[in-house]
């Protein structure tokens, strides 16, 4: 796909924290990693970035962990992608050609460029709360399992 595992783990982690927000308690990294099926140490690095950007709250110590805050639900997926993948994967050639752009397109560029543009539009318009809303309406949601 066009995004990284880092982005996928970040989205899943934010969805989990948002789903658990009613408990108003900090959730430990071990629990989050287990529930979203992500490697704990890799997820911890992602969550540090999210906490530094103030998209989630964190607290250290034996009773520490992470919880969602008012910024969590309003995070757009495009902002999240740019935070988790600073070398914007949507700006790179899917064939991995170094100099692919609209002036020097690779053979696949004319086919993939409109798809990328639409994907960026969807990411910009979609927030974490939108994904939670879809989850609530979907009886067969993956969030039921976490």
pLDDT tens-place string over residues 79-93:
999 999 877 667 778
Measured in whole angstroms, the distance separating CA 1 from the mean position of its chain's CA atoms is 14
Most confident among 20-24, 41-45, 133-137 (mean pLDDT): 41-45
- Cβ atoms of 141 and 15 within 8 Å: the answer is no
Cα→Cα distances 145→29, 66, 139, Å? 18, 20, 12
The full DSSP string for 130-146 is: HHHHHHHH-TT-GGGG-
Residue 39 and residue 29: Cα distance in Å, rounded? 10
pLDDT at 52: 96
Identify the pLDDT of residue 16. 92
What pTM was estimated for this model as a whole? 0.83
Mean pLDDT value across residues 57-79: 91
pLDDT at 133: 73
> Rg of the Cα trace of the chain?
17
Closest by CA position to 81, among listed 111, 106, 108, 116:
116
CA atoms within a 13 Å half-sphere pointing along the CA-CB vector of 123: 20
Query: 22 falls in which pLDDT band (50, 70, 90)?
Result: low
For residues 58-77, give the mean pLDDT: 90
- Mean pLDDT highest for which of 114-118, 131-135, 138-142? 114-118
Neighbours of 131 (CB within 10 A): 18
In the three-class reduction of DSSP (H, G, I as helix; E, B as strand; rest coil), residue 67 is classed as strand
pLDDT of residue 139: 53
Phi, psi of 87 (to 5 degrees): -90, 60
Does residue 92 contact residue 19 with C-beta atoms inside 8 Å?
A: no
pLDDT above 70 covers what percent of the chain?
86
Q: Mean pLDDT for the chain? A: 86
Residues 6 or more apart whose CB falls under 8 angstroms from that of 12 comprise 36, 38, 146
């Amino acid at each position: 796909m066009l995004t990284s595992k880092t982005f996928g783990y970040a989205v899943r982690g934010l969805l989990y924290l948002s789903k658990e927000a009613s408990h108003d308690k900090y959730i430990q990294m071990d629990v989050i990693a287990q529930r979203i099926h992500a490697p704990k140490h890799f997820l911890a690095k992602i969550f540090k970035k999210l906490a530094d950007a103030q998209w989630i709250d964190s607290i250290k110590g034996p009773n520490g962990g992470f919880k969602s805050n008012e910024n969590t639900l309003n995070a757009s997926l495009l902002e999240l992608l740019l935070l988790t993948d600073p070398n914007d994967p949507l700006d790179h050639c899917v064939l991995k050609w170094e100099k692919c752009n609209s002036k020097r397109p690779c053979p696949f560029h004319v086919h993939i460029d409109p798809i990328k543009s639409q994907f960026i539009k969807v990411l910009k318009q979609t927030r974490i709360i939108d994904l939670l809303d879809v989850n609530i309406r979907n009886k067969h949601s993956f969030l039921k399992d976490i």
